[in-house]
Amino acid sequence: MSRLTHVTGGRYTPPAARRELTAVSADGARLHVEEHGEPDAPPVVLAHGWTCSTAFWAAQIRDLAADHRVIAYDQRGHGRSPAGSGYSTTALADDLAAVLRTALAPGERAVLAGHSMGGMTIMAAAGRPEVAEHAAAVLLCSTGSSRLAAEALVVPLRPGPLRTRLTRALLGSRVPLGPVTPPAKRVLKYATMGPGSAPDRVEACARIVHACPTPVRYAWSQVLAELDVHANLPALTA
């Protein structure tokens, strides 16, 4: 399980949850779920990305909870969710389905928002009965449905086999990230954030990403390298 590491001051400090739940996935994996905002407000479900946690959504939760019921959960192996028995796109879909069953009433609809691997989670679950029952709308942020290694822009080379190989090697690195240092923050900012990202935002993101255990980071990297959920996309507009 990841250490719950995040900034403790400012806009990106995770707000306290109104309620905490545990969703149990198909393989028995236990997922940490948080609820924020008033219980009778329109619901929004947030799925975070690779190496992140519910803390990643701190600013969004704080703003949305003013007039929404915000439901956020830790993907397996991240934050306060143990790893479970395996990593796969099926597990991502199973986990989201479990969260929807646990946090929403029968027939209750919510906006589902996913960032990076969270968006891939929603695409993997497209067509599941839980998504059909509970999704009022879907927001996919900074994500992809296939060919991630071939199309990622992290390695500053022209598209081609060399860039793809280098991206796969970088994605699948087993090297521990170590402490959050100025050089580490510069690398993270270049690889995952915009050039105009404020220092406090970079600091918050670095704290979250560096808290993800290396084995979890590596295991999910292997799933992402082979990810192909493109065939599921029509189900999101059905």
pTM of the model: 0.93
Looking up residue 195, the CATH number of its domain turns out to be 3.40.50.1820
Residue 69 counted as domain residue: yes
Number of domains forming the structure of the chain: 1
pLDDT the model gives residue 191: 87
- Beta-carbon contacts of 140 under 8 Å, excluding residues fewer than 6 positions away, are 114, 119, 122, 123
Residue 7 counted as domain residue: no
Which residue carries 């406090």 as its tokens? 200
Which residue carries 């199309």 as its tokens? 151
Residue 10 counted as domain residue: no
Radius of gyration of the chain (CA): 17
Per-residue CA distances from 219 to 34, 134, 173 (Å): 25, 29, 10
d(CA 185, CA 137) in angstroms, rounded, equals 34
pLDDT the model gives residue 3: 41
Residue 5 counted as domain residue: no
What string of pLDDT tens digits covers the 238 residues of the chain?
A: 334 467 877 889 999 999 999 999 999 999 999 999 999 999 999 999 999 999 999 999 999 999 999 999 999 999 999 998 899 999 999 999 999 999 999 999 999 999 999 999 999 999 999 999 999 999 999 999 999 988 888 888 899 999 999 989 888 888 889 899 999 999 999 988 988 999 999 999 999 999 999 999 999 999 999 999 999 999 998 6
Residue 3 counted as domain residue: no
Pairing relation of β-strands 110-115 and 69-73? Answer: unpaired
Residue 13 counted as domain residue: no
* Residue closest to 17 by CA, chosen among 103, 97, 95: 103
- DSSP letters spanning 109-172: -EEEEEETHHHHHHHHHTT-HHHHHHEEEEEEES--SB-HHHH--SS-S-SSHHHHHHHHHHHT
pLDDT the model gives residue 2: 38
The token pair that represents 21 in the structure block: 């739940």
What is the extent of the structural domain holding 99?
19-236
Residue 33 counted as domain residue: yes
pLDDT the model gives residue 1: 39
Residue 46 counted as domain residue: yes
pLDDT the model gives residue 85: 87
d(CA 156, CA 44) in angstroms, rounded, equals 36
Q: Do 114 and 96 meet the contact criterion of CB atoms below 8 Å apart? A: no
Q: What angle do CA 27, 32, 35 make, to 5 degrees?
A: 130
Three-state SS for 25? Answer: coil
The token pair that represents 110 in the structure block: 């919510």
The values of phi and psi at residue 125, to 5°, are: -90, -5
Which residue carries 């990230």 as its tokens? 177
